[in-house]
Structure 1
Amino acid sequence: QLGNVSLTGYDAANQVYYRRDPLNAFSYYFYDAAGRQERVRDGYGEATSQVYDLAGKVTVSLDELGYPTYLGYDAANRRTTTTDAYGNVATTVYDRASNVTRQIDELGVTTYFSYDVLNRRSHTRGAAVSAIALLVMTFAGMQQTIEWAQSHLPGLALSGTRLSLLVTAFLSSTLVLLALDWLIKPAGSSATLLVGAVVDRLVILSSPVCVFLAWDLTR
């Protein structure tokens, strides 16, 4: 035991007002008049927030950079759509028993779910992700990471940095290695994808979609 202590403070309404972790970093929590958590601010002044509709459902959430995510619901108050700041939409479809039967991600990749008579999930079937879709997904994720680093770590000189990334993924029944290369531009502008090449292919027996990322910053 190192004797590290975490603390939690409450307001007059018995709602969590702050938390302090063992490293003495504080997070503060703010609520609306209905007692719903609408904002969280960390010790660095970064905040996330949520907007609710009249039924108490979260309709918009803002991340630390102010990027919004919009949430849509059906008449039964089930979440059906999630739209990110770039306009990409993920969709969820339900059956009459409110079981999720189909999910379509931001790239249009669909996963199907089946259930037994007791409404227990019995089967999952997913579509193979194309190499192009994987490339787009990886690039979008890395671009958001770069934007976050440029905004939150002003002392980190990323501009002009060359970022090399190896993506390993199972696509259908083929193991694909993609070697990607970015040139990071100044804050406020997008990174440039320099190279996107299939390095190797190896036939395998199974077909789960799985992505492993490892990158290294070099000048």
Structure 2
Amino acid sequence: MCSYLTLRHTRRNRRRLREEIARRGVSRLHVGCGLVLLDGWLNIFYERREEYGRVKERGGRLALNYNLLKTWPVADHSIAFIAGSHFIEHLDLNAGIAFLKESFRVMKPGAVIRLSCPDLEIYARNYVEGNRAFFENKLVKEWCAFSQARTPGEILAAKAYDSGGSHRWFYDFASLKHILELAGFRDVKKCGRLEGKVPGLKDIELPERELETVYVEAVKP
């Protein structure tokens, strides 16, 4: 459990952490990484039971336990790629916009951000079309937080509260494009699972989640 003193110490030493990240030559951020740690990236997660605010090596891969709703300990215009797979839906709309503005701050001109999340359009279209096969799919049901959800309507409603109730918003491409442009990004494009400019996509985007996912990349001008 990270105490108030630990958090206060981290804020007081944000410059130290920022200098360490720069010294390590970090230019790629894998945000909301969970258990997926990528080579050549700084993998950022937030876990209250682990030591907070220190860059560590796990199997030769860099990891940082840090609350991304705070100011990031990353220098302006220093990052070439940001990837967040099934992360932004865990933030409410205002927090998601704040996250994108902070991403924009740390990225170099020409840098690319990639986001993926459950696609509201996919769920809504399958609901309206009465496609029970989609809602009976093992993946869709397994990722549903409410085990008693059975009908397409119940599963669609439950999706907004998935991951133990930690989902806070439900996006489609149009809404992701809107908030990315609001944060200053341009050239917003919808991609396939393994399509895009961000490197290492096969390690970032899980194939079993393709059925329900929208993939988007955007550029900082």
Shorter-chain TM-score bucket reads under 0.3
Q: Which structure has more strand as a fraction of its residues?
A: 1
Normalised by the length of structure 1, the TM-score is 0.23
Q: Which has the larger radius of gyration?
A: 1
Higher helix share: 2
- Whose relative contact order is higher, 1 or 2, with alpha carbons under 8 Å and at least 6 apart? 2
- TM score, norm. by length of structure 2: 0.23
